[in-house]
């Protein structure tokens, strides 16, 4: 199945919300910080210098999304990465993650990190496979933003 990356457009904002809400609500509870970002992706991600990408699967449409949220000079959080349950197994998540790492390089990120939960084992494995390493200092610095954060990871060479 053919996959392609689609750039954020305002008309895709409802999909950004829906795809992320699906996985978060399946495993956790939407926190206020989630709602703030999901309801205002342009203001919270795009305008401050971040990026949102989508992955489209041939015949299925948009099946996944991910964001790079600028959190400081040359620093980005890989966040709000989700793939629809109906598209699992298509390698859409890995395709999207690799595109996001490449975008972080284009944005000249010196530090690329993510926050997650230990129950997200498939995602953690995907992040490890693509070069992310567990980092306690990142968790201490940023983990308090989410009640569900038990794991923080850093991409040593974005």
Whole-number Å distance between alpha carbons of 150 and 158: 22
Q: What is the pLDDT of residues 30-62, one digit of tens each?
A: 999 999 999 999 999 999 999 999 999 999 999
CATH assignment, 3-155: 3.40.630.30
Which DSSP letter does residue 40 get?
-
The per-residue pLDDT for range 72-92, each reduced to its tens digit, is: 999 999 999 999 988 989 999
pLDDT-derived band of residue 1, with 50, 70 and 90 as boundaries?
A: confident
pLDDT of residue 141: 93
Distance, CA of 101 to CA of 83 (rounded, Å): 17
Spatial distance between the Cα atoms of 130 and 60, rounded to a whole number of angstroms: 25
Q: What percent of the chain has pLDDT over 70?
A: 100
Domain coordinates of the chain in residue numbers? 3-155
Q: Hey, CA dihedral for 53, 31, 128, 152, is it positive or negative? A: positive
Do 110 and 155 meet the contact criterion of CB atoms below 8 Å apart?
no
* Cα 131 from Cα 133, distance rounded (Å): 6
Read off the pTM.
Answer: 0.95
């Amino acid at each position: 199945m053919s996959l392609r990356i689609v750039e954020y457009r305002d008309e895709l904002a409802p999909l950004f919300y829906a795809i992320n809400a699906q996985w978060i609500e399946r495993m956790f509870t939407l926190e206020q910080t989630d709602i703030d970002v999901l309801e205002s992706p342009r203001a919270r991600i795009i305008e401050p210098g971040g990026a949102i990408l989508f992955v489209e699967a041939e015949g299925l449409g948009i099946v996944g999304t991910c964001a790079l949220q600028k959190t400081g000079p040359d620093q980005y959080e890989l966040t709000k990465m989700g793939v629809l349950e109906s598209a699992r197994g298509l390698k859409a998540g890995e395709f999207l993650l690799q595109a996001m790492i490449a975008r972080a390089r284009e944005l000249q990120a010196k530090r690329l990190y993510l926050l997650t939960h230990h129950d997200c084992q498939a995602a953690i494995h995907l992040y490890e496979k693509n070069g992310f390493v567990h980092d306690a200092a990142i968790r201490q610095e940023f983990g308090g933003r989410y009640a569900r954060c038990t794991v923080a990871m850093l991409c040593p060479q974005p």
